[in-house]
Chains A and B, each alone.
Chain A
């Protein structure tokens, strides 16, 4: 058995508990469907619960035995990667209002700045050029209709 460290166990058990809730929710909504539509979802849900419980039984004792690391919780707040994901969420919310061009330029500028590029001119050039290239490629060449906002 490989050694499991604290973060891995925390995530693992956290995921398991979330999953079990999800699966139980699945089982409850299942009751409304005709029997044929219920068959495999029920099977898969039961399988998920069985395997989930087995893993939980195995890992919970390991969690209590392992040493907690104080650095762990600090890492979550300083995580640049998760911050970028948050920016993506903001991007998707603003996409319908401001349209592809404006939102994307803003997004690219924000992410590049966050990741450490200090040269202000460089940020502006990079974000506008990359947005325009992608816009041209997808809108004119591939004929993919990118969202148009309120402005243009």
Chain B
């Protein structure tokens, strides 16, 4: 305990809190721009931190990570374009709120949720880090496949309206995810000799296209701003506080999303992109009024934002405990750690060796708190929703193009964005749910890779999936969820009971 207090003292006396504050705001700005995410921000900031001492550099980098994930919700809410892959489901309820003229409330809800989630991550890292690390090693390909299938089933089954259309979108998304080089056999599939498709369809441009174009076209046609009914715009200052209060009034959502967020983060290979979608779907399933989701339900905004912030720092457990990064952002942070001469592993958490770990945790806890300052800016940021379409649509178009381009520096990615944009426009018109498409594209490659790995290990036998405990439980729950999409269990139960009488 004294170690932690001592670390806190040194955190403030060495002015390390300044790095946390600057890092968070840099991250917020970068995250708000569509197409630029945590990986981009971290890659940009690592060279800047070379001149700093290791502790300051690590605090700055984790603060940038936290800020980027939090800032992704800004363009999701205001423009319906996910700022980062961790804010895809923030669009579903955030944008309708902006359309109703409640952009300030939506932004303050999302910032407050990011603050709360950003506090949970470091706490779980501090107390449960090594434990989670050891637990992650127990997951083999068999368990992994079943868990990813569970996430997939959850999202595939929870479609808005037509279940069949949702399933078709999931299947299509899977097919899109198989484009590129297969991880197991190395065959280049469906890439037609195109060099740029060898690594698969670039995800960020595709998502920007899918989300930006339908709204862009809609705004252009409608001829006004994002806000549909301009007379409904209320007093902005009151709305910000209203948003903060709304988050604090939903403790179960916060607890559920944090736990699930950290849990997903600990699994290597899945990150903020999966956790925000899964948490949104879980929240929708467990809600008493699922039809209000997608029309501006605040809980649908809280869940993904808490989850993605919790996942961001919580996923560092496996990275710091085992030296196995969970994703590209973790890899960069781990790389940063090693550049400064520190080694991940059990010794990293040992407070008797150095004060590094406790001070880093204080830094990671301070960063979300620094985001409270952003709440004061929400009033002004929310005004974007009132910009007229004459100016807004070209700006969205330009940002989408540059955002799609910035990832790889290839003009091909802009074509990918346009393709998915046109596809997305017609899909939305025909009322096909896009969420399933996106999730299937994210999870498809992982699902297939783990299936093939598991089958190679078990020698081609499918019963291996039923022999592992974790896998069996996950498979049973997946089956139940998929069946519940087609069969209404409540009606069935009532009919059985009535007929027995």
Q: Do residues A37 and B185 form an inter-chain contact, with CB atoms below 8 A?
A: yes
Q: Do residues B389 and A115 form an inter-chain contact, with CB atoms below 8 A?
A: yes
Cβ of A151 within 8 Å of any chain B Cβ, yes or no, is no
Mask: chain A, 41-60; 1 = CB below 8 Å from B; 0 = not: 10011011001101100100
For B, the interface residue count at a CB cutoff of 8 angstroms equals 61
Identify B164's interface contact among A8, A54, A117, CB under 8 A: A54
Identify B406's interface contact among A54, A88, A127, A144, CB under 8 A: A144
Q: Hey, which chain B residues are within 8 Å of A40, CB to CB? A: 174, 178, 444, 447-448, 451-452
Q: Hey, which chain A residues are within 8 Å of B415, CB to CB? A: 92
Q: Do residues A88 and B397 form an inter-chain contact, with CB atoms below 8 A?
A: yes
Task: Given A26-B175, A51-B171, A147-B411, verify A36-B405 contact (CB < 8 Å).
Answer: no
Give Cα A111 to B172, complex, Å.
Answer: 33
Give Cα A108 to B393, complex, Å.
Answer: 10
Q: Do residues A36 and B185 form an inter-chain contact, with CB atoms below 8 A?
A: yes
Cβ of B182 within 8 Å of any chain A Cβ, yes or no, is yes
Identify B418's interface contact among A36, A80, A92, CB under 8 A: A92
Q: Hey, which chain A residues are within 8 Å of B448, CB to CB? A: 39-40
Q: Closest CB of chain A to B132's CB: distance in Å?
A: 30
Give Cα A29 to B220, complex, Å.
Answer: 40
Give Cα A82 to B44, complex, Å.
Answer: 36
Give Cα A34 to B182, complex, Å.
Answer: 11
Cβ of A145 within 8 Å of any chain B Cβ, yes or no, is yes
Cβ of B421 within 8 Å of any chain A Cβ, yes or no, is yes
Give Cα A131 to B213, complex, Å.
Answer: 20
Cβ of B352 within 8 Å of any chain A Cβ, yes or no, is no
Q: Hey, which chain A residues are within 8 Å of B213, CB to CB? A: 85
Give Cα A33 to B448, complex, Å.
Answer: 15
Give Cα A130 to B398, complex, Å.
Answer: 9
Q: Do residues A112 and B187 form an inter-chain contact, with CB atoms below 8 A?
A: no
Mask: chain B, 187-226; 1 = CB below 8 Å from A; 0 = not: 1011000000000000000000000010011101101000
Q: Closest CB of chain B to A75's CB: distance in Å?
A: 9
Give Cα A57 to B411, complex, Å.
Answer: 40
Cβ of B165 within 8 Å of any chain A Cβ, yes or no, is yes
Q: Do residues B431 and A34 form an inter-chain contact, with CB atoms below 8 A?
A: no
Chain A, interface SS category: helix
Task: Given A48-B171, A52-B168, verify A104-B221 contact (CB < 8 Å).
Answer: no
Q: Do residues B422 and A85 form an inter-chain contact, with CB atoms below 8 A?
A: yes
Give Cα A84 to B175, complex, Å.
Answer: 29
For A91, give the chain B residue with the smallest CB separation.
B401
Identify A15's interface contact among B182, B432, B455, CB under 8 A: B432
Q: Hey, which chain B residues are within 8 Å of A107, CB to CB? A: 394, 397-398
Cβ of A124 within 8 Å of any chain B Cβ, yes or no, is no
Cβ of A73 within 8 Å of any chain B Cβ, yes or no, is no
Cβ of B333 within 8 Å of any chain A Cβ, yes or no, is no
Q: Do residues B393 and A111 form an inter-chain contact, with CB atoms below 8 A?
A: yes
Task: Given A92-B411, A111-B397, verify A143-B220 contact (CB < 8 Å).
Answer: no
Q: Closest CB of chain A to B275's CB: distance in Å?
A: 23
Cβ of B9 within 8 Å of any chain A Cβ, yes or no, is no
Mask: chain A, 97-130; 1 = CB below 8 Å from B; 0 = not: 0000000100110011001110000000011001
Q: Closest CB of chain B to A133's CB: distance in Å?
A: 10
B 437-481 contacts with A by CB, 8 A: 444, 447-448, 451-452, 455
Cβ of A21 within 8 Å of any chain B Cβ, yes or no, is no
Q: Do residues A41 and B431 form an inter-chain contact, with CB atoms below 8 A?
A: no
Q: Closest CB of chain B to A17's CB: distance in Å?
A: 12
Cβ of B484 within 8 Å of any chain A Cβ, yes or no, is no
For A9, give the chain B residue with the smallest CB separation.
B430
For B407, give the chain A residue with the smallest CB separation.
A144
Q: Hey, which chain B residues are within 8 Å of A112, CB to CB? A: 390-391, 394
A positions within 8 Å CB-CB of B: 2, 7-8, 11-12, 14-15, 19, 22-23, 26, 29, 33-34, 36-37, 39-41, 44-45, 47-48, 51-52, 54-55, 58, 79-82, 84-85, 88-89, 91-92, 95-96, 104, 107-108, 111-112, 115-117, 126-127, 130-131, 134, 138, 142-147
20 A-B pairs with CB atoms under 8 Å apart are A19-B168, A19-B172, A33-B185, A33-B189, A36-B184, A37-B185, A37-B189, A39-B452, A40-B174, A41-B189, A44-B444, A48-B171, A54-B164, A55-B164, A81-B216, A92-B418, A108-B394, A115-B393, A116-B223, A130-B395
